[in-house]
Structure 1
Amino acid sequence: MLKRCEITSRSLGNTQTIFAAYLPDTSEYKKLPVVYWLSGLTCTDENFSQKAGAFQAACDHQVVLVMPDTSPRGDGVPDEEPHTYDFGVGAGFYLNATTDKYKTHYNMYDFIVKELPACVEANFPVSAKRSISGHSMGGHGALTIAMKNPDRYTSVSAFAPICNPTKVPWGEKAFKFYLGEDQQSWKQYDATELIADYKGKDLHILCDCGTADSFLVGDVNQLQPLAFMEAAQKAKVPVTFRSDACDVMRRDAT
Structure 2
Amino acid sequence: MRAAIDIGSNSIRLALSDGTGRSTITKLADGIDRTGKLSPVGLSATLDALREYAKVCRAAGCDNITVFATEAVRRAADGEQFCAAVKAEINLDVLILSAEQEARLALAGATKPDGAITVCDLGGGSLEVICSEDGKTPSYVKSLPLGVVVMKNKFNGDYRRAIDELPTLLREYGTVPAHPVVITGGSACTIAACMLNLKIYDKNKVSTRFTAKQLDDFMPMLLSPKLALFRPVCQKRADTVPYGAIVIQALLNRLGATEFYVSDASNLEAVLNGALDDTI
TM-score by length of 2: 0.29
RCO greater where, 1 or 2, for CA within 8 Å and sep 6 or more? 2
**TM superposition score normalised by structure 1:** 0.31
Q: Which has the higher helix share?
A: 2
